[in-house]
Structure 1
Amino acid sequence: MRNLTKVASLALLASALLVPAVPASATAVADDPFSVFKVSVKVAKTAKAGGKLNYTIVATNTGPYEANAYFLGGQFPKDVDLRKIYYRSSVKGTECGLEGRALYCLVPKVLKKDESIAMIFETKLKKTAKGTETATLGVISYDLQTGMEDMSKEELERLGVPEHGYAKTVKTKIVR
């Protein structure tokens, strides 16, 4: 399994890749993703400044193939205390990397077509939070061929390994 340095490097790459989802077509072409994800993100509509705010991401691999290289996470709001983000996953070996406001977790579980994975991110708002907090969370997946699992970020970039982003934007109003 990749070490945390590689995970952090890939998370940095992933944080720049939240692009609109590409719908799967009936006829596959070379540029179609190996795995398309349906993503839902749940969070409270309102929260108190200084209070807790939990995000739940549920990602379903809609195929056409199994997903073996993906990250869950994304860009957290400006008033979330990044030192106090905790995550829960039922998959042992999940590793996360933080870069700026983005936190991505590599989940070492192959998802077959129509299987889902869920993660909960527990956050704490700063006491100075006000207005509306916006997060963009979801999945970044990579089209890795067999044998590419341990390649460095640089090598993946050099080879031009395709990546795909599936994200949802959610908002929470801060109340006093």
Structure 2
Amino acid sequence: MRNLTKVVSLALLAGALLVPAVPASATTVADDPFSVFDVKVKASKTAKAGGKIKYSIVATNKGPYDADAWFVGGEFPKGVDFKRIMYTTSVKKTACGLEGRAFFCLLPKVLKKGDSIEMTFEAKLKKTATGTQTATLGVVSYDVQTGMDNMSKEELERLGIPSHGYGKTVKTKVVR
């Protein structure tokens, strides 16, 4: 599963989170996602410049299948110091990466239908941060077939492997 991290082109995933979530349907056809996620995101309502914003993401796999190729993260606000982002999760061997304002984590866990995962991020604001800081966070899942877990991102894209974004936007007001 180590090569699966190649699937993460962080800029691509940040854009995928902006796609509205695909609703679950009673019947599954070829174009339906393998795993639909219900995502809840919370953020600190206010934070001081130079202070911390806490983000909490709870993602539940609504099915119809187990999720085995999915990522948690998203696009953090412009006012965040990207060298000072911390995360916690109960999933061991979680690997995270940063590109620009996009921060995504591969959680090496198969999420069965109905199971949930929680991940918490704590981001330190720059001392120059002002106004309202907006983040888009959630889950991106891929419809990876059995045996495709070692393919590169480029090969998955060439084959047209679908990805689905389930993101929420949260805002934090910077106070003095």
Under a length normalisation based on structure 2, what TM-score does the superposition of the two structures give?
0.95
Structure 1 consecutive aligned stretches of length 4 or more whose deviation exceeds 4 Å: none
The letter of the residue matching 1:16 is G
Aligned to 1:23: 23
C-alpha distance in 2 between matches for 1:108 and 1:23: 25
Q: Note the alpha carbon deviations across 1:20-58, whole angstroms, 9 max, x for none.
A: 001011111110000000001111111111001111110
C-alpha distance in 1 between matches for 2:10 and 2:125: 23
C-alpha distance in 2 between matches for 1:11 and 1:116: 23
Under a length normalisation based on structure 1, what TM-score does the superposition of the two structures give?
0.95
Q: Which runs of 5+ in 2 are unaligned?
A: none
C-alpha distance in 2 between matches for 1:96 and 1:164: 19
Give 1:4 deviation, angstroms.
9.1
Aligned to 1:58: 58
Partner of 1:133: helix, strand, or coil? strand
Q: How many residues align?
A: 175
Aligned to 2:109: 109
Greater strand share, structure number: 2
Give 1:16 deviation, angstroms.
2.2
Tell whether 2:18 aligns with 1:11.
no
C-alpha distance in 1 between matches for 2:21 and 2:5: 27
Aligned to 1:170: 170
Aligned to 1:38: 38
C-alpha distance in 1 between matches for 2:43 and 2:87: 14
Contact map agreement 1:36 1:61 (CA 8 A) in 2: yes
Aligned to 1:100: 100
Aligned to 1:128: 128
Q: Note the alpha carbon deviations across 1:115-160, whole angstroms, 9 max, x for none.
A: 0011111110001111100000000000011111111000100110
Give 1:6 deviation, angstroms.
2.1
Partner of 2:2: helix, strand, or coil? coil
The letter of the residue matching 1:34 is F
Cα 1:16–1:87 change in 2 (3 A) is same
Give 1:14 deviation, angstroms.
1.4
C-alpha distance in 2 between matches for 1:115 and 1:43: 22
- How large is the Cα RMSD of the aligned pairs? 1.4
Partner of 1:85: helix, strand, or coil? strand
C-alpha distance in 1 between matches for 2:5 and 2:142: 18
Contact map agreement 2:4 2:151 (CA 8 A) in 1: no
